[in-house]
Amino acid sequence: MGNSSISNLRSAFKLKQFSRKYLSIPYGVFMVMFIILPLVILFLYAFTERKFDGSLTLNFTIANFKEVFSPTNLDMLERSFKIGIISTLACLIIGYPIALILSRSTLKHKNVIVMLFMLPMWVNFLIRTLATKAVFEAMDIKLGEFSVTFTMIYNYLPYMIMPIYNVIEKIDNCLYEGARDLGANEFTVLRKVTVPLSLPGILSGITMVFMPSITTFAIANIMSNNTYILVGDYIYSESFISFNVASAISLIILVVIGISMAIVNKYDKDGNAQGGMM
């Protein structure tokens, strides 16, 4: 009886391993086709020069990266990082107090209020941007750097609020009570308890706002009538002229994203950095 039970358990275990092995095949195929292969192609184009002289030849070169860091493109990169930093800091300054208030709120319908902040995300991204442009034009406000920055903040603010809110919401109230029992005032509790423990959410929010801010092309294009060029606009337009140069700058942005994610993972030791939107 005992041997039979053990044999059945072994059979079930082997069947489970067999099922997992074959169920993972579609995911492996998907990763190879839509993640690994595109990255290989991107890398190949970034470090090669395509010449069509009757036959296709691939010459390895770093000239594409030299083109990316030309004086004109350096101005564009500086402008992109500038607007990304401003948008991220503005979202953090606005979003952190909102997330803090929401997490400490005792309102019966707090989830409804949280949902109101999520409501704009249900509207198509381009529709939101076009609607914002219509408001600016109706108010006779000049389209340019300010309108681009404002729309960045408007579109990406929820991406800053929700990760921070999710982390603060999980902080044990006993920590607040213990700090107050030891004589800490509200500002000290905020500085010594809330902010350090919410750091994973802050880093996650910064990553989720900063990277789209410097790489988007729709907002800058629409909100400046294509007069304020950012990295995303450059990649989009350059891909029709020289896909190699567009691949080179895309590879640089990919490295920046990788560094950002490494920083987030470094501080997310307990898995508290919530990158999702609840």
pLDDT at 154: 92
Q: Positive or negative, the Cα torsion across 263, 265, 268, 274?
A: positive
**Cα dist from 36 to 30, 33, 42, 54, whole Å:** 9, 6, 10, 30
**pLDDT band with cut points at 50, 70 and 90 for residue 215:** confident
* Mean pLDDT, all residues of the chain: 82
What's the burial of 129, exposed, middle or buried (CB within 10 Å: 0-12/13-18/19+)? buried
Average pLDDT over residues 127-135: 92
CB 230 within 8 A of CB 80: yes
Q: For 163-173, what is each residue's pLDDT tens digit?
A: 999 999 888 88
∠ Cα 268 115 120 (to 5°): 95
**pLDDT band with cut points at 50, 70 and 90 for residue 152:** very high
181: pLDDT strictly greater than 70: yes
**pLDDT band with cut points at 50, 70 and 90 for residue 157:** very high
146: pLDDT strictly greater than 90: yes
CA pair distance 140, 15, nearest whole angstrom = 68
Provide the 3-class DSSP secondary structure of residue 47: coil
What percent of the chain lies above the pLDDT cut of 90?
A: 22
CA pair distance 158, 151, nearest whole angstrom = 13
Provide the 3-class DSSP secondary structure of residue 212: helix
Average pLDDT over residues 114-141: 88
Token pair, residue 233, equals 């606009």
Q: Which helix (H) or strand (E) holds 92?
A: helix 71-104
**pLDDT band with cut points at 50, 70 and 90 for residue 137:** very high
Q: Which residues contact 131 (CB under 8 A, 6 or more apart)?
A: none
Q: For 7-28, what is each residue's pLDDT tens digit?
A: 555 555 555 555 666 777 788 8
CB 139 within 8 A of CB 216: no
∠ Cα 47 52 58 (to 5°): 30
**pLDDT band with cut points at 50, 70 and 90 for residue 272:** very low
CA pair distance 255, 83, nearest whole angstrom = 19
Encoded amino acid at 56, one letter: L
